[in-house]
Chain A
Amino acid sequence: MSFLYHEISAFSHVYLILILAYAILIMSSYLILAHLSVRELREYLKKNSFVDYNVLLTSEFAPSLSLIAPAYNEGFTIQENVKSLLSLHYNNYQVILVNDGSRDNSMEILIATYDLVLTELEIHPQIETKKVKGIYTSKNAAFKKLIVVDKENGGKADALNVGLNIAQNPYVVCIDVDCILDKDSLLKLAKPFLESHGKRIIATGGVVRIANQCIIKNGRLVEVNIPDLMMPRIQVLEYLRAFLLGRMAWARLDGLLLISGAFGAFDKEIALLAGGYNTKTVGEDMELVVRMRRYMLENKIPYAVSYIPDPLCWTEAPEDFNIFKKQRSRWMRGTIETLSFHKKMFLNPKYKQLGMLSVPYWTLFEFLAPAIEFIGIVITLIFTLFGLLNWHFFFLLLIFVYFFAVLFSVIALYSEERTYHKYPKQTDFFKLLLAAFIEPVYFHPLTVYAALIGYKEKIMGTKGWGEMTRKGFTKK
């Protein structure tokens, strides 16, 4: 018996050391990425202060863009959202709104508001999609940029594929119709396509921020506020960390795997050659980027994926736990599906940084992290039951992780302060600081729980997005 006790005790020691090693590994990677991100960000901002984006407004050489906005049951806000898309600062673009078989009155509203009539647009579909019921353009010359496609419901990826088939321009910008775009967002997103140095720019992405409780006027964000509710407030902080301290570094390392589905631009030709959006996953945004990159690497075509750290797109974060749970479990399913479709890339030197760094990183720290945390909790409970837990060590480890989480959020706040300074109100800063202290004990367990639901849904074969109810923005 004493031998068994000794063995379990030794196992407990090894287990705690392993957990500590994992924590140190994840923390070090965060800090390295943050360091790289901040350096890149500062360089970008220095350069950007001398950039005159207006040259693109008057130039006939500005890249032609097709905005693809899939919409499903957005009747409540669609009129204003389309108006906002049509009034962006850019000359050379068209808006393709794809009504993905909405069950509400979206189509009726669009037809009435924008004087739409059925049109015979010649299209040569390269990707198979659900049936297109009709393509509409406006009789009113003021809305000549607008094309509305009415199709059978097939999900977001299918709607985006219809947009890809119809787009007449060489670059497509895929957006969530309910996002609030910065008026110069297209100018900023288009610029990298003109800056290739012997490398083809296949995609560019911008930063997404949380717009809950911000003031919106005529489809534009006019006042930035921090939400009073803790759930969306912590998401502001979470997005700051992800976008300010992560993605810029991945772009620098040429290992960016994800361009947010809310706002990203793609080289249409490459997107089509790679096969368009995958309708078999709910992580279609990440999957497309990975597949396009894989296509370029397998065909040995020099390429780059660009990333713009400016806040270009503002979105509504879930305020309700059930909606949050659906969103995060879907994200986890999307991650699992993408990593599983492209498992061939894992630690495969043929795929360079992508295979050797990005995919293993996502596997270890994005896909496996919630599972490791969950297993940790279970083992801790078992140790407690058997009286094997070294409480002193356990609490030290807990405090160690807690204060690192706080520190990392404070680094994000510091970076925001020294760069974009979007939250100038003193109260907003203190709200975010408070969120940094609360997040590890309130929000983080919820994200782990939602991710575990994602695992379960994946195992059970759940498909689709689930209903995502939005509250809507505060309007002036």
Chain B
Amino acid sequence: MTKIWELFENGVWVKPFLILSICLFILVSFVLYILIIRSRGKNIKREKLRIDYNVLIEKLMFSMLFNDTPIETVKKDSDYIRLSENNFFREVITESLLNLHKSYEGAYADKLEQFYKESGLIKDSFKKIKSSKWEIKCKGITELAEFNSIEAFDAIIKVSKTTNKTLKITALNACIKLGGTKGIIHLTEYPYPIDEWTQINIINAFKKHDIGDTKGVELLLESQNSTVISLGLKLIKELKLTQKIPYVAQLAARATNTIIKYEAQNILQTLTV
């Protein structure tokens, strides 16, 4: 200890410390500079590759959609065979399929869903759901929901019980798309508060996917969790579910939570006018 103090006191350490620090700063700056240049180069290369892949994907998909080329023939395309095992290509084709699926309906959408399943891309999405990273899970869920993969419903329901908010919203959106009201009924048992942002997303999912069958929404009003009750009330109000008025009236009569009581009375007033 005395030696360290003496070393500090006589200042011998200062010069080597400064020289070493200067060298370190220069070295780290240079490494970061190289990383920036490399990242820029990589991005440019990736974008170029993406453009090339998109040209091929568009050609294959349009021939499948509009020239009735069978999926088997598409899968036998030499370029497709060459690239189908490439991860980046699979990422690009999944994104393209997602975008196309959002733009088309009916038979065209069915064909895209069929291709998604037969090409094995669906397996990639299922793998993503099992990933330990929540953002990868989100990706997988978004893909499976977009392509109406009902078989993924149970797996996604499990994921929706997470406390990670972003993942929860993505999973609940998917559950609503795939299973309608069935996708959120489990929230009646949910013990944690659901914030307004999540609630708005759930309501939006109902509106966006035009969920006609709202049987069971009233169950949310029986939850012990006041934020779940609030979600139920908001859903009833926003979707104008006048058939649920008796349940809202019951809630308004029995609720002990003043905010919930007020919300229920307010909705009763809105729906009965």
Contacts and interface: CB of A to CB of B under 8 A. Distances in A.
Interface stretch (A231-239, A318-326, A407-415): A407-415
A245 to B, nearest CB: 13
Contacts of A16: 14
Interface of B: 11, 14-15, 18-19, 21-22, 25-26, 28-29, 32-33, 35-36, 39-40, 43, 135, 138, 142, 165-166, 169-170, 193, 195-197, 199-201, 203-204, 207, 234, 238
A55 B15 contact: no
A13 B9 CA distance: 10
B230 to A, nearest CB: 10
Contacts of B207: 58
A61 B199 contact: yes
9 contacts: A50-B135, A50-B142, A55-B204, A58-B207, A60-B238, A61-B196, A403-B22, A406-B29, A417-B40
A248 interface: no
A195 B203 contact: no
B246 to A, nearest CB: 23
Contacts of A55: 200-201, 204
Interface string A364-408: 000000000000000000000000000011001101100110110
Interface in A44-77: 46-47, 49-52, 55-56, 58-62
Contact of B234 (A61, A62, A195, A198): A61
Contacts of B197: 191, 194-195
Nearest to A55: B204
A39 to B, nearest CB: 15
B35 A414 contact: yes
Contacts of B165: 195
Given A55-B204, A407-B25, A433 B199 contact: no
A442 interface: no
Given A47-B166, A404-B25, A61 B32 contact: no
Nearest to B238: A60
Contacts of A194: 195-197, 200
Contact of B21 (A13, A400, A417): A400
Contacts of B33: 410, 433
A13 B11 contact: yes
Given A13-B11, A50-B169, 13 more contacts: A20-B18, A46-B166, A51-B166, A197-B195, A198-B193, A392-B15, A393-B15, A393-B18, A403-B22, A403-B25, A410-B33, A411-B32, A417-B40
Contacts of B43: 421
Contacts of A60: 238
A51 B165 CA distance: 11
Contacts of B238: 59-61
* SS class, residues of chain B in contact with chain A: helix
B200 A426 contact: no
B166 A50 contact: yes
Contacts of B40: 417, 426, 429
A417 B39 contact: yes
Contact of A56 (B18, B19, B170, B200): B200
B193 A397 contact: no
Interface in A420-451: 421, 426, 429, 433
B15 A396 contact: yes
Contacts of A191: 197
Nearest to A414: B32
Nearest to B202: A55
A17 interface: yes
A46 to B, nearest CB: 5
Contact of A59 (B14, B18, B28, B203): B203
Contacts of A50: 135, 138, 142, 166, 169-170
A400 B200 contact: no
A8 to B, nearest CB: 16
A457 B135 CA distance: 52
A6 interface: no
A393 B170 CA distance: 58
Contacts of A429: 36, 40
Nearest to A191: B197
A260 to B, nearest CB: 24
